[in-house]
Amino acid sequence: MNIYIFDMDGTLTPARQSMTKDFSHRFLPWLKAHLAYLAAGSNYEKVTEQLPPDIVSSFSGIYSSMGNVYHQKSKEIYRHDIKLKKEMLQALERYRKSTSYPGKLYSNYMELRPGMLNFSILGRNCPFSEREKYYKWDEINKERELISKEMNEKFPEYDFSLGGKISIDIVTKGCGKEQIAHLIRERHPNDKIIFIGDRTDIGGNDYNIASTLKNMENTEVIAVTSPEDVLDYLKI
Ligand code: M1P
């Protein structure tokens, strides 16, 4: 049997947006006929905001906050914490203060979630239009890439990776999405595991789960760039 694992933002939904009606209409019958898990970087509340209830309940399990929280049929099974070093937080504060981004900055630039911290120079409380503006600027100026690289070197006990469009996900080393690969392999030792995600490139927040799976037998990693790509791959 095949076991599927799906990323959420940028894979099943546009980043930080709800699943489209057309997508859920085509995906739900497929999901009901297969065994699949969700592996989201966002927290569980965002998952239930972005996905319709029948989609949420049709997954065999929902990993959120990079695998640090696990729900089965809306019941929380576990959650992990993270210890944040003062020096690491101070370094992030310095990046926020010294950014060369020319636009306005917003609040909620460090969002603590179970087992992870999400850091955004722009601030998570920005309007939607500002996200796109920052994303376009960051694509040229590579601010997030540079911060992640420097922080990975300075604080090797943590993992810094690019999530969606405006932020960096921070977990204790080993406590990112790769833990999901190990847990699912333990639960399904003989089945083929197929992961589908949009940030499987190095530095992306699907990279660790993708590379962990690639080192296991009987697995496949499918890199997609949009929900439309997922529908094409599933042929639905
Ligand atoms: O699931 C992908 C990412 O979605 C959001 O990213 P951003 O706000 O940068 O677009 C965040 O929830 C992030 O943590 C998550 O990894």
Comparing 203 with 26, the larger pLDDT belongs to: 26
Interstrand relation of 69-72 and 110-113 (parallel, antiparallel or unpaired): unpaired
Residue 123 has pLDDT above 80, yes or no: yes
pLDDT at 62: 98
Ligand 1 centre and the CA of 219: distance in Å?
25
pLDDT at 157: 97
Give the pLDDT confidence of 63-121 residue by residue, as tens digits: 999 999 999 999 999 999 999 999 999 999 999 999 999 999 999 999 999 999 999 99
Residue 16 has pLDDT above 90, yes or no: no
With a 6 A CB cut-off, is 40 part of the ligand 1 pocket?
Answer: yes
* Mean pLDDT in residue range 12-23: 94
> Among 33, 91, 23, which Cα is nearest to 59's?
33
Ligand 1 centre and the CA of 6: distance in Å?
15
Q: Could you tell me the two tokens for 184?
A: 């699912």
Strand, helix or coil for residue 87: helix
Residue 163 has pLDDT above 80, yes or no: no
> Among 133, 205, 199, which Cα is nearest to 168's?
205
Ligand 1 centre and the CA of 190: distance in Å?
32
Atom of ligand 1 nearest to the CA of 40: 1
With a 6 A CB cut-off, is 198 part of the ligand 1 pocket?
Answer: no
Strand, helix or coil for residue 172: strand
The pTM of this model reads: 0.90
